[in-house]
């Protein structure tokens, strides 16, 4: 066993399955709570897969790392110089060092980008390389990532989790920290906008459905830059602007996570709805920097690999330090001949990203299939590369009861830090093949991931086996905390794109909508179980059933007194957990989750944690979940929604983002109160003439108080049996009851007024904010009508008017702040 | 077509005035529109542009002129105030010479050109010739295209004869039908339906040639509106036209118009060339918002005397 492994294992203690399982469970919990996910394309739910992390990190000793570091940095420089030539003078082609067909046969060569000015010839700002180790322990390059390299955010998250779960071992092994790398990258991005006082850097994401959206949001937070989608940006006067609530703000640097051909529908893919029309014009005018430069994806093509050793000598005057696995691009006659003659010992791969082809292992093919492959190679030789097979080494992976050897690929990152230099992240994202012996390693095919620990040099000669006394692990905690704090610290007064305001507004609305649905469903479910199976035994069940029907949660015929509990239960269960039921709680939680997902970088970690919890709790009880098992998730959900509301109040800066979230909340609550009263026909509930009617009225009022969370308040204030007048006062006009309509309207007025002050758009003749304010003040006036709670007709018309007008505020806000003109081809 | 040794008794050039107008009606106010225009005439050995004028209304806030990767002039215009329509009017005055007589039988065997195209050395030749042999956004070589082309490209046939044969076969096999296809109709659908417009036939021809390994470019331009006395009016007048330019060795290219089944001559005005329509469409744009979109295009090319 190599010494660094002894070091690691000695600090881990005996590998007891129980202890490891415990650690594994807590790692999984942390990942789940932090919402670390990986999206899989083509899944109808846009499902987020939980991120798989192995407990055993990949260990790299210091001197081994020094070589990797030098190699990766050199390779980044080389690829950058390569790009600078191909998108500039093309001397490599002119001089005959490269065949011209190499770029012309490659759809990744973006002709529109040729000759665009690139400051300092810095094309490649963020680079990743996949490395594998052969059986001799040497590292080889498997592939380069130069377009939008992914995974660095996952590496950070892996570190945050593992440094907590294995805190003692982490400290004991003296692992290189990751944060200095990200700080340097952030500084480098800011420095790309020289002369600008407060440069604006944004991270451009394809959006919440992108495979690695979690990471986009995470990195944006970690780097303290604004996460934007293409529709948040606009080009005016050949300059890129961010559409914010207060107008257009100039953008200086775009950190790009959008594939290069999608970046500008005007000059690249016309069918892209994810890009920014006119972006290339802004680049041509030199008013913005895009990192990585559009077109950099070219260097990912397998066809380029075999030219690197000679180009390294030519461009950098050095030998290539990290070898690529030997390959032959079939676009040249001699190379094609070699590949055709040696199919048995080669892997055939696509020459560029547009050739969709799983690696073909020549040796595995039948004679007939081999002949077909030969034909394909001869037909379009430039589409293929033959690559030598190498014997991969393995790394230990924890598998429930012990360690298993799996193949691994280590992805290492480098960032341009100015002056053509690169800084290499001391660590990386290591991916693990899904089972022993599998050669294809990818997150798509169900593999796992590992943290990568680069050991610091000084630790190296310490005597293995001397356990230091356990102490509070300050260093691990500090790193985890630094990552955490960095995330919480957003750029103060950060830009709020209109789309994000929209997302937060709807997050507020859905959160409140779900909250009131949970209370209604819990009230109904608990009464059903209490009634002992006899409907009508419980007077409050009747108004609750009417409310369920009103909210389209159960079919109307179910509200009849003769419906048995046995019939009601499945309907109620569907109303709670069925995602295909359009009004169900689950469906609304999914909407809530989507809204939250789209503004994820704006939410604190704790808020996100609660939202994932809500998502989980609303999936329904495990197993049959009959009877009272239905109640437990509802109870948990009530608590979770309260926690979410509490965090909104206590953990969010009162900026424009909070303003929209709160307006969404309050508007929805106002709408819900009005809706409750209309559904229960409270205006028409006449003075009871007999005992039955009296019972029915008081049951209705109690349900109203319960659902409006105001029972305690009522008791405190009135001590008496529930009566219609006081109940209505408490829920409609009481300015101090946080559940009362008047309370919501007061907040809406304040927030709208604040919005109107900040908005530059009020100059226009048609002012939607002012119209919304007018609706709110009309509603407030209506509540001051002296006879309101006594005059049934007046109450009825007032409630009807409110029900018609309040939702209009949503549309007005949408019109004023969220409405985007979508780009389309003309 | 480059023809360095033009004899002195060659016919004089024809002088044209070409007017091209494109009008969009957006139905609603559009706050911003961005357009890329390939409306000026590129450098061309048989053409001399005397005057070129572009008028855009409403007045664009931004106008930038530059050359694209293929050497075509491009203009970027952005209208940044709310507008309900956009009017792009271009006017050219241009002299066009007829190409030298094409001795199709004297051209090299087509396999020879395929071989040369693969072995091109030097960046300039690769840029001017080599890049037109590979797939592009709208034209990908395929087995079906190869099969369609095969009868014209019998063994060792001079490329000129093969091209003329392919050109007239496409002209005969395919019907001009402005309703059959749109800009986004894929090539294999055109091949199955056997109908389309000049862009489709140009793409089809290019697809056939690329499937054979022969370099071919897409040419965007205009046709003379009224034919010379005694000749028929061409198909594709009154709109922008497209045809194909094929490398036949050295610096020579031959221009084929499959839509009319003939070689391009002094009736054809070249604006731009690229790998396909996507590289050189005359007007390409992105607008923000807007409801429906009405489009009116007119092209008028008249012979003028100076």
Nearest to A267 among B36, B62, B288 (CB): B36
Distance from CA of B200 to the nearest CA of A (A): 18
Kindly report, residue by residue over B219-255, the tens digit of the pLDDT. 999 999 888 888 888 877 778 999 999 999 988 999 9
pLDDT for res A672: 94
> Residue A324 has what pLDDT?
87
Distance from CA of B209 to the nearest CA of A (A): 14
Mean pLDDT of A704-732: 87
Give burial (CB, 10 Å; 0-12/13-18/19+) of A444.
exposed
Q: Using CB atoms, which residue from A100, A114, A825 is nearest to B130? A: A100
Q: What is the pLDDT of residue A489?
A: 36
Asked if residue B137 lies in contact with residue A354, where contact means CB atoms within 8 angstroms, the answer is: no
pLDDT at A180: 94
Instruction: Tell me if residue A408 falls in helix, strand or coil.
Output: strand
- Please state the φ and ψ torsions of residue B148, each to the nearest 5 degrees: -65, -40
Size of interface A-B (CB pairs under 8 A): 100
* Distance of residue B97 Cα from the nearest chain A Cα, in angstroms: 31
H/E stretch holding A324? none
Distance CA B134, CA B153 (A): 19
CB-CB contact of A397 with A432 (8 Å) = yes
Structure confidence at residue A822 as a pLDDT band (50, 70, 90): low
Interface mutation vs chain A, best among B276, B288, B291, most A CBs within 10 Å: B288
Residue A763, pLDDT > 50, answer no
Once rounded to an integer, what is the mean pLDDT over residues A120-135?
Answer: 95
- Residue A532: what pLDDT? 61
Question: What residues contact A477, with CB distance under 8 A and at least 6 apart?
Answer: A164, A167
State the best of A99, A104, A286 to mutate against chain B, taking most chain B CBs within 10 Å: A104
State what percent of residues in chain A have pLDDT above 90.
Answer: 52
Gap between the terminal Cα atoms of chain A: 65
pLDDT at position A491 over 50: no
B71 touches chain A (CB under 8 A): no
- pLDDT tens across B76-124, in order? 999 999 899 999 999 999 999 999 889 999 999 999 999 998 877 666 7
In this complex, which of B32, B69, B121 lies closest to A111 when CB atoms are compared?
Answer: B69
What is residue A24's predicted lDDT score, i.e. its pLDDT?
80
E-only strand ranges, A501-648: none
| Chain A nearest CA to B164, separation (Å) | 25
Q: Give the helix, strand, coil percentages of chain A, each rounded to 5.
A: 50, 15, 35
Of A203-207, A314-318, A689-693, which range is least confident? A689-693
Nearest to A100 among B30, B66, B120 (CB): B120
Q: What is the pLDDT of residues B54-69, one digit of tens each?
A: 999 999 999 999 999 9
Per residue, the 3-state secondary structure of A445-498, as one string, reads CCCEEEEEEEECHHHCCCCCCCCCCCCCCHHHHHHHHHHHHHHHCCCCCCCCEH
Grade residue A300 by pLDDT with cuts at 50, 70 and 90: very high
pLDDT above 80 for A176: yes
User: How close does chain B come to A784, measured CA to CA in Å?
Assistant: 43
Which residues in A lie closer than 8 A to residue B24 (C-beta atoms)?
826
Per-residue confidence at A43, pLDDT binned at 50, 70, 90? very low
* Bridge-based pairing state of the strands B253-257 and A422-424: unpaired
Q: Is B78 on the interface with A (CB under 8 A)?
A: yes
How many CA atoms, within 13 angstroms, populate the side-chain half-sphere of residue A773?
A: 15
Confidence at residue B2, expressed as pLDDT on a 0 to 100 scale: 45
Identify all chain A residues contacting B141, using CB atoms and an 8 Å cutoff.
380
List chain B residues with CB under 8 Å of A822: 288-289
Beta-carbon separation of B30 and A90 below 8 A: no
* H, E, C per residue of A12-26: HCCCCHHHHHHHHHH
Contacts of B287 in chain A (CB under 8 A): 823-824, 826
Coil, strand or helix at A233: strand
E strands along A180-331, which residues? Answer: 201-205, 226-229, 233-236, 239-244, 247-250, 253-256, 289-291, 327-329
Residues 132-161 in B contacting A (C-alpha not used; CB under 8 Å): 133-135, 141
Closest chain A residue by Cα to residue B24: A826
Do the Cβ atoms of B131 and A107 come within 8 Å? no
B147-198 per-position pLDDT tens digit? 999 999 999 999 999 999 999 999 999 999 989 888 888 999 999 999 999 9
Q: What is the pLDDT of residue A715?
A: 85
Residue A361, class by beta-carbon neighbours within 10 Å (0-12 exposed, 13-18 middle, 19+ buried)? middle
Intra-chain end-to-end CA distance of chain B, in Å:
25
CA distance B224 to chain A (A): 27
Beta strand ranges found along A330-447 (DSSP E): 346-350, 360-361, 384-388, 394-398, 403-416, 422-424, 429-432
A323 CB-near residues (< 8 Å, 6+ apart):
A138, A140, A141, A309
Instruction: Give the pLDDT of residue A67.
Output: 96
Asked if B123 has any chain A CB less than 8 Å from its own CB, the reply is yes
Confidence band for B1, pLDDT divided at 50, 70 and 90: very low
B262 bridge partner residues: B257
If DSSP codes are grouped into helix, strand and coil, which group holds residue A249? strand
Question: How many CB atoms neighbour CB B114 within 10 A?
Answer: 18
- A825–B285: do the CB atoms touch at under 8 Å? yes
Lowest mean pLDDT among A277-281, A810-814, B41-45: A810-814
CA-based nearest distance B4→chain A, Å: 25
| Contact state of A100 with B118 under an 8 Å Cβ cutoff | no
Task: Measure A758 CA to nearest chain B CA, in Å.
Answer: 23
Nearest chain B CA: its distance from A110 CA (Å): 10
- According to the model, what pLDDT value does residue A500 have? 86
Task: Considering only the beta carbons, identify the residue of A104, A112, A281 that sits closest to B64.
Answer: A281
Cα angle B35, B39, B41 (rounded to 5 degrees) comes to 150
Per-residue pLDDT, B291: 65
- Mutation to test the A interface, candidates B35, B64, B122, B123, most A Cβ within 10 Å: B123
Flag whether pLDDT at A462 surpasses 50.
no
Rounded CA separation A401/A639 (Å): 37
CB contact under 8 A, B80 and A236: yes
Put simply, the answer to whether A100 touches B33 (Cβ < 8 Å) is: no
Specify the higher pLDDT residue, A764 or A248: A248
Q: Which residues of A touch B79 (CB under 8 A)?
A: none
Q: Compute the nearest-CA separation of B134 from chain A (Å).
A: 6
Q: Is the ipTM of this complex over 0.95?
A: no
Output the six-digit token pair for A273. Answer: 């709805």
Q: Distance between CA atoms of A617 and A818, rounded to whole angstroms?
A: 31
**What HEC string does A710-752 produce?**
CHHHHHHHHCCCCCHHHHHHHHHHCCCCCCCHHHHHHHHHHHH
- B24–A112 C-beta distance less than 8 A: no
The pLDDT assigned to A761 comes to 46
Residues A346-358 pLDDT 10s = 999 999 998 988 8
Find the range with the poorest average confidence among A444-448, A483-487, A492-496: A483-487
Cis peptide before A292 (omega within 30 of 0): yes
Which residues does chain B have within 8 Å of residue A821's beta carbon, measured at their own beta carbons? Answer: 30-32, 288-290
Question: Tokens 């059986």 map to which residue?
Answer: A135
Rounded to whole angstroms, the Cα distance separating A608 from A622 reads: 23
Q: Which chain A residue lies closest to B127 (C-alpha atoms)?
A: A100
**Tokens representing A338?**
């070699």
Least CB–CB distance from A105: residue in B127, B134, B288: B134
What's the CA gap between B205 and B103, in Å, rounded? 20
| Residue with the two structure tokens 């005992």 | A691
The pLDDT score that the predictor gives to residue A819 is: 56
HEC string of chain B?
A: CCCCCCCCCCCCCEEEEEEEEEEEEEEEEECCEEEEECCCCCCCCCEEEEEEEEEEECCCCEEEEEECCCCCEEEEEEECCCEEEEEEEEEEEEEECCCCCCCHHHCCEHHHHHHHHHCCCCHHHHHHCHHHHCCCCCCCCCHHHHHHHHHHCCCCCEHHHHHHHHHHHHHHHCEECCCCCCCCCCHHHHHHHCEECHHHHHHHHHHHHHHCCCCEEEEEEEECCCCCCCCCCCCCCCCCEEEEEEECCCCCEEEEECCCCEECCCCEEEEEEECCHHHHCCEEEEEECCCCCEEEEEEEEEECCC
Chain B nearest-CA residue for A355:
B135
B36 touches chain A (CB under 8 A): yes
**Chain B residues whose beta carbon lies within 8 Å of the beta carbon of residue A267:** 36
B106 in reach of chain A (CB within 8 A): no
* C-beta atoms of B127 and A235 within 8 A: no
For residue A90, the chain B residue with the least C-alpha distance is B123
* Residue of A99, A100, A382 to mutate when probing chain B, most B C-beta within 10 A: A100
Inter-chain residue contact B287 with A824, CB threshold 8 Å: yes
Task: Identify which has the larger pLDDT, B208 or A45.
Answer: B208
Written as six digits, the tokens of A387 are: 């690559």
Contact B34 A382 (CB under 8 A): no
| pLDDT computed for residue A823 by the predictor | 55
To probe the interface with A, which of B126, B141, B275, B293 has the most A CB atoms within 10 Å? Answer: B126
DSSP-based three-state secondary structure for A131: strand
């Amino acid at each position: 066993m190599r010494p660094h492994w002894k070091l690691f294992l000695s600090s881990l203690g005996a590998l007891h399955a129980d202890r490891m399982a415990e650690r594994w469970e807590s790692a999984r919990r942390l990942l789940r709570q932090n919402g670390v996910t990986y999206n899989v394309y083509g899944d109808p739910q846009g499902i987020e897969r939980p991120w798989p992390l192995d407990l055993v990190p990949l260990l790299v000793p210091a001197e081994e790392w020094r070589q990797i570091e030098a190699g990766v940095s050199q390779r980044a420089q080389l690829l950058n110089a390569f790009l600078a030539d191909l998108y500039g003078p093309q001397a490599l082609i002119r001089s005959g060092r490269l065949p011209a067909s190499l770029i012309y046969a490659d759809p990744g060569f973006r002709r529109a980008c040729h000759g665009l000015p690139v400051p300092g010839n810095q094309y490649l700002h963020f680079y990743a390389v996949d490395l594998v180790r052969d059986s001799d322990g040497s590292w080889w390059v498997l592939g380069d990532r130069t377009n939008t390299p992914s995974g660095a955010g996952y590496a950070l998250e892996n570190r945050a989790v593992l440094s907590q779960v294995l805190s003692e071992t982490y400290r004991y092994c003296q692992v290189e920290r990751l944060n200095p790398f990200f700080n340097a990258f952030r500084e480098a991005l800011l420095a790309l906008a020289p002369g600008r006082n407060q440069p604006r850097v944004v991270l451009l994401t394809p959006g919440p459905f992108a495979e690695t959206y979690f990471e986009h949001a995470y990195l944006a937070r970690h780097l303290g830059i604004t996460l934007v989608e293409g529709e948040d940006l606009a080009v005016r006067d050949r300059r890129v602007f961010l559409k914010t609530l207060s107008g257009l703000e100039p953008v200086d640097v775009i950190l790009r996570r959008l594939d290069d051909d999608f970046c500008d529908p005007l000059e690249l893919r016309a069918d892209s709805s994810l890009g920014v029309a006119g972006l290339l014009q802004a680049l041509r005018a030199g008013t913005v920097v895009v990192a990585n430069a559009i077109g950099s994806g070219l260097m990912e093509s397998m066809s380029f690999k075999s030219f690197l050793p000679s180009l390294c000598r030519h461009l950098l005057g050095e030998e290539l330090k990290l070898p690529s696995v030997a390959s032959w691009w079939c676009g040249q006659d001699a190379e094609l001949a070699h590949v055709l003659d040696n199919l048995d010992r080669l892997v055939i791969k696509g020459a560029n990203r547009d050739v969709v082809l799983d690696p073909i292992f020549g040796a595995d093919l039948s004679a007939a299939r081999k002949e077909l492959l030969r034909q394909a190679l001869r037909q379009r030789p430039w589409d293929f590369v033959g690559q030598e097979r190498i014997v991969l080494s393995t790394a230990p992976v924890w598998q429930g009861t012990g360690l298993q050897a799996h193949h691994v690929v280590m992805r290492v990152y480098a960032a341009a830090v100015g002056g053509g230099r690169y800084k290499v992240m001391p660590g990386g994202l290591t991916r693990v093949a899904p089972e022993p012996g599998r050669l294809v390693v990818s997150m798509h095919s169900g593999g796992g991931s590992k943290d990568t620990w680069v050991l610091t040099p000084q630790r190296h000669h310490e005597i293995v086996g001397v356990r230091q006394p356990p102490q509070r692990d300050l260093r691990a905690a500090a790193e985890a905390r630094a990552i955490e704090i960095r995330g919480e610290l957003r750029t103060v007064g950060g830009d709020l794109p209109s789309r994000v305001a929209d997302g937060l507004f709807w997050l507020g609305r859905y959160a409140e909508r779900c909250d009131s649905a949970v209370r209604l469903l819990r009230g109904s479910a608990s009464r059903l179980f209490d009634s002992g199976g006899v409907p009508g035994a419980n007077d409050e069940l009747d108004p609750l059933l009417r409310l369920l029907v009103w909210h389209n949660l159960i079919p109307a015929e179910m509200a009849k007194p003769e419906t048995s509990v046995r019939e009601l239960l499945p309907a109620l269960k569907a109303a709670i957990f069925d995602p295909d039921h359009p009004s169900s709680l689950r469906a609304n939680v999914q909407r809530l989750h989507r809204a939250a997902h789209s503004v994820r970088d704006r939410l604190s970690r704790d808020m996100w944690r609660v939202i994932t919890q809500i998502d989980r709790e609303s999936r329904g009880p495990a197993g049959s979940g009959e009877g009272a098992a239905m109640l437990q998730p509802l109870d948990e959900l009530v608590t979770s929604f309260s926690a979410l509301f509490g965090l909104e109040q206590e953990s969010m800066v009162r900026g424009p983002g909070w303003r929209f979230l709160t307006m969404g909340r309050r508007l929805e609550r106002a709408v819900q109160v009005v809706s409750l009263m209309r559904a229960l026909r409270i205006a028409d509930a006449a003075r009871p003439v007999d005992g039955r009617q009296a019972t029915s009225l008081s049951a209705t009022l109690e349900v109203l108080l319960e659902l409006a969370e105001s029972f305690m308040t009522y008791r405190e204030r009135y001590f008496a049996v529930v009566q219609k007048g006081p109940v209505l006062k408490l829920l409609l006009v009481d300015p101090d009851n946080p559940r009362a309509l008047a309370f919501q309207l007061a907040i809406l007025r304040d927030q709208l007024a604040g919005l109107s002050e900040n908005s530059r758009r009020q100059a226009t003749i048609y002012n939607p904010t002012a119209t919304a304010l007018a609706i709110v003040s009309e509603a407030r006036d209506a509540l001051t009508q002296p006879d309101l709670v006594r005059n049934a007709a007046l109450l009825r018309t007032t409630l009807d008017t409110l029900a018609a007008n309040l939702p209009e505020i949503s549309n007005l806000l949408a019109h004023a702040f969220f409405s985007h003109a979508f780009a389309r081809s003309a | 077509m480059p023809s360095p040794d033009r004899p002195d008794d060659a016919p004089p050039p024809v002088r044209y005035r070409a007017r091209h107008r494109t009008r969009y009606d957006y139905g609603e106010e559009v706050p911003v529109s961005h357009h890329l225009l390939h409306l000026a005439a590129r450098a061309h050995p048989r053409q001399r542009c005397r005057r070129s004028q572009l008028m855009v209304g409403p007045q664009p806030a931004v106008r930038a002129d530059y050359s694209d990767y293929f050497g075509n002039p491009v203009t970027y215009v952005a209208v940044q105030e709310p507008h309900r329509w956009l009017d792009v009017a271009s006017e050219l005055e241009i002299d066009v010479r007829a190409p030298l007589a094409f001795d199709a039988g004297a051209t090299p065997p087509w396999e020879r050109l395929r071989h040369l195209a693969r072995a091109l050395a030097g960046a300039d030749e690769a840029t001017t010739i080599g890049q037109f042999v590979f797939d592009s956004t709208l034209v990908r070589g395929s087995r079906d295209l190869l099969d369609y082309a095969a009868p014209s490209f019998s063994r060792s046939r001079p490329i000129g004869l093969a091209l003329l044969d392919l050109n007239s076969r496409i002209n005969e096999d395919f019907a001009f039908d402005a309703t059959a296809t749109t800009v986004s109709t894929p090539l294999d659908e055109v091949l199955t339906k056997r109908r389309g417009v000049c862009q489709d036939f140009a793409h089809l021809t290019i697809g056939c040639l690329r499937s054979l390994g022969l370099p071919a470019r897409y040419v965007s331009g205009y046709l003379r509106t009224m034919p010379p006395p005694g000749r028929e009016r061409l198909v594709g007048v009154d709109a922008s036209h497209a045809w194909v330019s094929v490398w036949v060795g050295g610096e020579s290219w031959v221009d084929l118009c499959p839509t009319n089944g003939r070689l391009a001559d002094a009736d054809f005005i070249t604006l731009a060339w690229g790998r396909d329509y996507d590289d050189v469409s005359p007007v390409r744009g992105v607008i923000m918002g807007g409801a429906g979109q009405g489009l009116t295009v007119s092209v008028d090319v008249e012979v003028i005397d100076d």
